[in-house]
Amino acid sequence: MVEPAPDVQLLELLAGRIAAHQLAARSVDLATGTATVADARRGDALQWNGTRLTTIHGPRWRLLIIGAGQLSMLLAQMALALDYEVTVCDPRAEYGAEWNLPGTRFVTTMPDDAVLALQPDPHSAIVALTHDPKLDDMALLEALKSAAFYVGALGSQRNNAARKARLLEHFDLSRDEVERLHGPVGLFIGSRTPGEIAVSILAEMTAVKNGVVAQARPQPVALAGDFATS
């Protein structure tokens, strides 16, 4: 469909909504040429009934990674390939000094402040990868209350069960909010290496983004140690 003379003010309204990280639906009536802009929800799709075309417009998908280790570097590289806008947060000076990935934004604020500054919307994902509860939990406290479509945290099943219990007991989070947490983070694919874990995280993010129900994670097998895998 080609519109020879679209309403410029309506296009400016649409652009303003996108800039404000809002999802919007733009409908055009082919019989009259009139267009409207209305709220949209994540999961809404293009619609065409023969006379009316509705398209969905929204902000770029964004990913906030807490922690600047090797896994974060690999995850950021893969997310950039999927056209995510990537922000990495790590207040630890020894990690920030090593971060040099072009195309990403690096911040040294505390994780909860980074989440608040992001103003998460339904096109935002937040993944905590420091393996340090003092940092990861700070981000999760704000992320789980936000509109982010995906919130995940690194760690074993045992560690994440303890994390959920801790968030419920000591912080102002509801059970429904805590149950939003994807932990262990990532789709279960038997991953062990940082690269494989990064693949599993992007796979689960993509499944959630596209409304696909991921396969249930099997019960853990007793192993020596407590290595975090996905």
Domain boundaries, the chain: 8-57, 62-209
Q: What is the pTM of this model?
A: 0.77
CA separation for the pair 81, 78 (Å, rounded): 5
* Distance set, CA 194 to CA 9, 174, 208 (Å): 48, 32, 21
**CATH node for 62-209:** 3.40.50.720
Q: What is the pLDDT along the chain (230 residues), one digit of tens a residue?
A: 888 889 999 999 999 988 887 889 999 999 898 999 999 876 678 899 999 999 999 878 999 999 999 999 999 999 999 999 999 999 999 888 889 999 999 999 999 999 999 999 888 999 999 989 899 999 999 999 999 999 999 988 999 899 999 998 888 899 999 999 999 999 999 998 999 999 999 999 999 998 887 665 665 544 444 444 44
Cβ count near 93 (within 10 Å): 8
Pairing of strands 35-39, 24-29: antiparallel
